[in-house]
Amino acid sequence: MKESLFEFILPDLGEGVVEAEIRAWHVAVGERVKEHQSALEVETDKAVVDVPVPRAGIIRTLNHEVGDRVPVGSVLLTIATGEFEADSVPAPAAGAVVSPVRKSHGIVGVLPEAPSAGPPEGPVTEAPVVSGEKKAVPLRALPRVRALAKARGVALETLRGSGPDGRITEEDVLTAAGAEPSGDAGDSGRRVPLAGLRRRIAEHLLEAQRRTAFVTTMAETDVTRLWTLKARQRDELAGRGVKLTLLPFFMKATQHALAEFPRLNARVDEAAGEIELLAECHLGVAVDSREGLLVPVVRDVGTKSVVDLAIELQQLAEQAESRSLSREQLQGSTFTLTNFGGFGGSFATPVINYPNVAILGFGGISEKPWVVEGEIVIRRILPLSLTFDHRVLDGAEATRFLVRVGQFLEDPGLLFIESV
Amino acid sequence: MSKKIIASFTVSRLEILDEQGRTDAELMPDLTDDDLVRLYELMLLTRQFDQRALHLQREGRLGTYPSVLGQEASQVGSAYALQNSDWLFPAFRELGVFVTLGYPLAEIYQYWNGDERGLLCPEQLNIFPICIAVGTHIPHAVGAAMAARYRGDPIATACYFGDGGTSKGDFHEGLNMAGVFQAPVVFIIQNNQWAISISRNHQTAAETLAQKAIAYGIPGIQVDGNDVLAVYQATREALQRARSGGGPSLIECETYRMADHTTADDAARYRDPEEVQRWQRRDPLLRMRRFLADRGLWDDARQQQLETEIDARLDRAVAREEATPPARARDIFAYTWTEMTPRQKRQLQQLRDLRELDHG
C-alpha cells in the first residue's frame, strides 16, 4: 500500500481575496473524486465560487465546516492520491474535522509537496543547498523583508513564514526580533494591510456613515447611587464567580428606555421605504479585542437579570478574545452600546451599528462638583453620547430617550418601578 | 446660400450562418470541407482550453484569467484568415486567435500563470505581447503597418481590442493615422457587449461601433460575431485589401462575453441573467455543429472523440506547464535590455547581496 496525502490549499480565488466562507460541501470523506470535480462552494468578498479539486483520489478529510471563514492558504481538504487500496485504508469518520496543518505528510514518511513543484530542469545555481544533498525549500521573502531581517539581525532561515506559500513577512521578522507584532509604537513608517477583521470593520463603519443621517446628542448623569449599589453587590457576586460591572445596569436602563421609545429599537427597510419597529431587544455590545472591535449580541435583554447579563458578558468577552464567537453571536442586534469609559474617554460621537437606528456610548465616570438641591457636592458623573439616525427620529425624541436612560441610571430604584 | 446633403453613409452587417445552422449560399466563403471542420475543431479546442483554465484557476494552479466563452467564432474566424507573415497585435482576451495560429498551449497556460516567458513568441509566428492596458497597442499596430508599407512587405497587421477600447484616445489616433497613411492594418473589435461592468450602451451613443470607421475615411463593417463564416469572410476581405495596398479597415464582431470579466469578477452583480440566456441560444459552436452535421461532416461519435483528444492534449499542456521551473529573479535583467545599464547592474548586485542572506 503506497498512498500520499495531497493537501488542497485554498487559493486566492480573486485578486487580493484574503478569505472565503464555506457555503457547501459537494463531496464527503471517503468519496472518490476526479481531477477538476467540484468539491465545495465558497463565498469571497467578490463572488460565490465553485471550487474543483486539483487531484484525483479519495477524500480523506474535510477540514472545515459550512459557515467557517477560511483564510487563503489554509488546507481545505486532503485527498489520498497515488496507488492505494481504498478498502484497506481506514478512513476517518464521516464529517471528520481535523486541525489544519501546512506541510504535506504522507501516511508513510514525508512526501514532496506536489508534482508541480518538481525538480527544475538543468543546473540551477541559485537554489540554496543546506546540509548534504538535501535541497532546502527556497526562502521566500521580499527584498524589503530581507533588508529588515538584516537590519534587525534576524536569520531568515530560522523563521517559518506565515505568508502565502510560506513567505516570510515583515511581521514574522519583527516577531522574531522581539518587537511587538501589531503594536503601533515600533511600526512608524510601516504600512499595515487593511485586511481581515480590520477591513470588515472599516467597510461596516463606512457603510453606516454613508447610509444614515447621523447626529450625536450628549448628556451627563449622576450615577453615585448606582455606583454604591454596584460596590455593595460586587463582593457578594465575586464569591459566586461573577464579576459585576456597571455594564449590565446600563443594559437594563437602556432596555427599559427603549420600551418607552420604540423608534430607537428599529431598523430602516430601505427597499420598502419603511421603519420596522422591533419587538425584541437584542443589545449589541462593542468589545475591544486584540485584533479589533467586535460587537457580540446579547439577546432578549428584557428576560435577563443584571446577574444573568453579567455572566453572559463575561463569556462573550472571553470568546471575543479567543476569536471563537460564532456568526450568530455577532448578528441580529436591535440597538448597540459602546462602553469606552474604561479607556479614559468622556464624550464621543459613536458610529451607528448599521442597520441599527442608534448607538449609546458610555464614557468614563469621574467625580465632579455637582449641584444637588442648591448645594455643590461631589458626585460620580457619567457622560452619555447617543448617535441616532435623523431619518428615523428627531432630536427632541432622541434627547428625551437619552434623558430617560439617565434617569434610570441616576435612580436605579426606578427600574424596580418600571419592571414587569 | 444653400443647405444640402454632401455625403451620406451606410453601415453594413454581414451574416452567413444562422442559429439553426443554415447558410446563405451566395455569401459562402471559399472554404473546403476540411477548412469548415477545422474551424469547428479550433472553436472546440478554444472552448475546452478555456474551461480547463477556469478550473485550474479555482484550484490555485493559474492566476487571474479572462474567459473567452462565447467569443470563439469572433476569434477563430478572424485568425483563420491571417497568414503567418502577418503581424498580430492582441489585447488580452484572444485565446481563440492564439489557438488558431498554433501558439503552444502550455505557454498560454504559463503566461496566465503569471510567467511572462509564456509570451516568448515562437519563431514562425509574428505576435506582439499580450496587451492588458486597454487600447494602448492600437497605435503600435498602425506603426508596424506603416513600417511594412515603407518596406514594401506584402503583409497586414491585425489589431484586436474590445468595445471598451473604442473609447480610448489611442483608438482615435490610431484609426485616424491609419486612414491618412493608408496603413495595411485591420482593426478587429471584439464587441462582447461588456467592458468589465460597463455595458455597450454606456460605452458610446453611436448605434454601431462599425460606423466609427466612417469618420476616419476607412471601410467599416459589422458582422455577426457568433457566425464563424461571416467573421472569416469579412476579415479575409479586409486583409487582402490591406496586403494589396487598399489601406486599413474596421471590423466590428458583435458577440457576447458569456463569462465573468475575469476570474476575479462576478458579472451576476451587474448584468441581467436573461440577457445571458438570450445569447446562449446564439452559441457560435452550436450553429456550426448543426451546419456540419447537415452537411454530413460531423456526428456525435466524432464530437466525443475530439473532446477526448482535446482533453488529453490539454492534460499534456498543463503537465508541461507545471513541470516548467519557475523563473529566477535575475532573469528580469536578462530580458529587459540587450546590455544592462549601470543602474541595472547595481540592482542586480543588490539582488545578489540579498540572496547571500539565504546562504547564511
Residues of B that are catalytic = 257, 261, 270
Query: Do A199-418 and A143-188 fall under one CATH topology?
Result: no
In sequence order, the β-bridge partners of residue B14 are B223
d(CA B252, CA A32): 48
Is residue A129 scored above 70 in pLDDT?
no
**B305 and B357 belong to one structural domain:** no
**What's residue B358's pLDDT?**
53
Residue B4 lies in a domain: no
Residue B187 sits at φ, ψ, to 5 deg, of -90, 120
DSSP per residue over A83-138, as a string?
A: S--GGGSPPPPTT-------S---SSS---S-GGGPPPSS--S-S-B-STTPBPPP
**B347 and B282 belong to one structural domain:** no
Q: Dump pLDDT digits (tens) for A18-61.
A: 889 999 999 999 999 999 999 999 988 878 889 999 999 999 99
**What's residue A420's pLDDT?**
65
Is residue A163 scored above 50 in pLDDT?
yes
Q: Dump pLDDT digits (tens) for A348-375.
A: 999 999 889 999 999 999 999 999 989 9
Residues of A that are catalytic = 390, 394
A14–B61: do the CB atoms touch at under 8 Å? Answer: no
d(CA B314, CA A233): 74
A115–B330: do the CB atoms touch at under 8 Å? Answer: no
Residue B225 lies in a domain: yes
Residue B119 lies in a domain: yes
Q: Which of A52, A128, A146 sits opposite B55 (nearest CB)?
A: A52
CB B248 within 8 A of CB B144: no
B58–A13: do the CB atoms touch at under 8 Å? Answer: yes
Whether chain A has a CB inside 8 Å of the CB on B316: the answer is no
d(CA B150, CA B319): 44
Is residue A93 scored above 70 in pLDDT?
no
**B119 and B16 belong to one structural domain:** yes
Residue B117 lies in a domain: yes
Is residue A180 scored above 50 in pLDDT?
no
**What's residue A137's pLDDT?**
58
Q: How many CA atoms lie within 13 A of B171 on its CB side?
A: 22
Chain B residues with beta carbon closer than 8 angstroms to that of A122: 325
Average pLDDT along chain B: 95
Q: Dump pLDDT digits (tens) for B152-202.
A: 999 999 999 999 999 999 999 999 999 999 999 999 999 999 999 999 999
Report the Cα B208 to chain-centroid distance in Å.
20
Is residue B359 scored above 80 in pLDDT?
no
Residue B6 lies in a domain: no
Q: Which of B52, B268, B360 sits opposite A155 (nearest CB)?
A: B360
Q: Which of B60, B325, B357 sits opposite A54 (nearest CB)?
A: B60
CB A16 within 8 A of CB A72: no
**What's residue A341's pLDDT?**
83
Chain B residues with beta carbon closer than 8 angstroms to that of A73: none
**What's residue A144's pLDDT?**
85
**B248 and B342 belong to one structural domain:** no
Average pLDDT along chain A: 81
Residue B35 lies in a domain: yes
Q: pLDDT over 90 for what percent of chain B?
A: 91
For residue A343, give every residue at least 6 positions away whose Cβ sits within 8 Å of its Cβ, in sequence order, or none: A288, A364
CB A107 within 8 A of CB A3: yes
Residues of A with a Cβ under 8 Å from any B Cβ are 8-15, 17, 36, 46-54, 115-116, 118, 120-122, 124, 126, 128, 138-139, 143, 146-147, 149-150, 155-157
Chain A residues with beta carbon closer than 8 angstroms to that of B355: 126
- Residue with the larger pLDDT of the pair A67 and B157: B157
Residue A272 sits at φ, ψ, to 5 deg, of -90, -10
**What's residue B223's pLDDT?**
98
**What's residue B332's pLDDT?**
84
Q: What residue spans define the domains of chain A?
A: 4-116, 143-188, 199-418
Identify the architecture of domain A4-116 in CATH.
Beta Barrel (2.40)
**B291 and B344 belong to one structural domain:** no
Whether chain A has a CB inside 8 Å of the CB on B205: the answer is no
**B127 and B198 belong to one structural domain:** yes
Residue in B49, B51, B55, B113 to test binding to A, most A beta-carbons within 10 Å: B55
**What's residue B118's pLDDT?**
94
- What's the structural domain count of chain B? 2
Is residue A300 scored above 50 in pLDDT?
yes
Identify the architecture of domain A143-188 in CATH.
Irregular (4.10)
Please report, for the domain that includes residue B79, its CATH number.
Answer: 3.40.50.970
Identify the architecture of domain A199-418 in CATH.
2-Layer Sandwich (3.30)
Q: pLDDT over 70 for what percent of chain B?
A: 98
Q: How far is B125 from chain A (nearest CA, A)?
A: 26
Helices (H), A301-382: 306-321
**B321 and B346 belong to one structural domain:** no
| Amino acid letter for position A254 | T
A49–B58: do the CB atoms touch at under 8 Å? Answer: yes
Q: What is the mean pLDDT of residues A277-297?
A: 86
DSSP SS3 for B147: helix
Q: Provide the pairing of β-strand A38-43 with A19-25.
A: antiparallel
**What's residue B334's pLDDT?**
83
Q: Provide the pairing of β-strand A335-339 with A292-294.
A: unpaired
**What's residue A384's pLDDT?**
96
What is the interface size between A and B, counted as CB pairs within 8 Å?
Answer: 78
- Write the CA distances from B303 to A272, B43, B44, B237, integer angstroms: 52, 12, 9, 31
**B317 and B338 belong to one structural domain:** no
Q: What is the mean pLDDT of residues A273-289?
A: 89
pLDDT band at A195 (very low <50, low <70, confident <90, very high): low
| Amino acid letter for position A74 | S
**B251 and B359 belong to one structural domain:** no
Q: What is the mean pLDDT of residues A160-174?
A: 83
DSSP SS3 for A285: strand
Helix or strand (DSSP H, E) at A4: strand A4-9
CB A364 within 8 A of CB A345: yes
**B20 and B136 belong to one structural domain:** yes
d(CA B193, CA A346): 56
Residue in A27, A46, A137, A173 to test binding to B, most B beta-carbons within 10 Å: A46
pTM score above 0.90? no
Residue in A13, A148, A156, A168 to test binding to B, most B beta-carbons within 10 Å: A13
Q: What is the mean pLDDT of residues B200-226?
A: 97
Residue B203 lies in a domain: yes
**B335 and B269 belong to one structural domain:** no
Residue B7 lies in a domain: no
d(CA B345, CA B352): 11
| Domain of residue B253, residue span | 12-327
- Write the CA distances from A261 to A256, A257, B356, integer angstroms: 9, 6, 69
Helices (H), A240-356: 247-260, 306-321
**B271 and B333 belong to one structural domain:** no
